Amino acid sequence: MQLEPIDMRFGVVRKEDYSISVRKCHKKVLSTRQFSRRAKASVAFIVKRPGCIICKEEGLMLRELVQSFPENRVAAWAVVKEIDVDNDGLTALYQNYFRFPFFLDRKMKLYKAMGKNVINRFKFFYNIRKNGARKRIADKGIEGTFIGKGEGLILGGVLIFDAKGDICYAYQEKSGAEELPIEEFRCALNAIIADQESN
């Protein structure tokens, strides 16, 4: 399973000319100057559609979660399905909500490994109303629309890795409109960190 690094540091989406495995993506993120090998775990944000406000909310929530751990104990990175479809949405997600490394999964192998669940459009719009997603997101100051550009039917999720690169926790979106279970993620990260520090 190969992913391609994406460089967005200067407001331009540029794919690198090489690909690396998921485990190497995790290791590459941990070795960056930002984390300086202090991270005991990493959070991989598997993005449904970068331009949609649900993904912006998820990026913001995951960024706040990662930053709540002291001394860069937790690293973060993201995976997208495509580029050059909504580069404005992708750049906005990176610059305003989730400023961590991004990787391209052109063949969607990571999405397939997570079950490749497809959104039920009726359920999605029903859950937006039922869960109060519109108000919840507006209260966080996030602007945009629920419909973005590009492929948005295959749901995303979150993977949590330990320092060795083993997946210790996986979460897949159910309807695409629910709020992330951040406290579950926090418990999983605390358990991973405690386990690694006790060894």
Predicted pLDDT at 78: 95
Model confidence at 10: pLDDT above 70: no
Predicted pLDDT at 36: 57
Average pLDDT over residues 142-152: 78
Average pLDDT, the chain: 85
**CATH top class, domain 2-198:** alpha beta
Model confidence at 66: pLDDT above 90: yes
If one counts every other C-beta atom within 10 angstroms of the C-beta of residue 118, the result is: 10
Selection from 65, 35, 90 nearest residue 158 by Cα: 65
Predicted pLDDT at 34: 64
At 126, is the pLDDT very low, low, confident or very high (cuts 50, 70, 90)?
Answer: low
At 168, is the pLDDT very low, low, confident or very high (cuts 50, 70, 90)?
Answer: very high
Average pLDDT over residues 29-52: 82
Predicted pLDDT at 77: 94
Selection from 98, 116, 115 nearest residue 62 by Cα: 98
Per-domain residue ranges of the chain? 2-198
Model confidence at 187: pLDDT above 80: yes
Handedness of CA 96, 154, 67, 132 (dihedral sign): positive
Instruction: Read off the DSSP letter of residue 154.
Output: B
Q: What percent of the chain has pLDDT over 90?
A: 37
At 9, is the pLDDT very low, low, confident or very high (cuts 50, 70, 90)?
Answer: confident
In angstroms, rounded to a whole number, what is the distance separating the alpha carbons of residues 142 and 42? 25
Whether 173 contacts 117, CB under 8 Å: yes
In angstroms, rounded to a whole number, what is the distance separating the alpha carbons of residues 30 and 8? 18
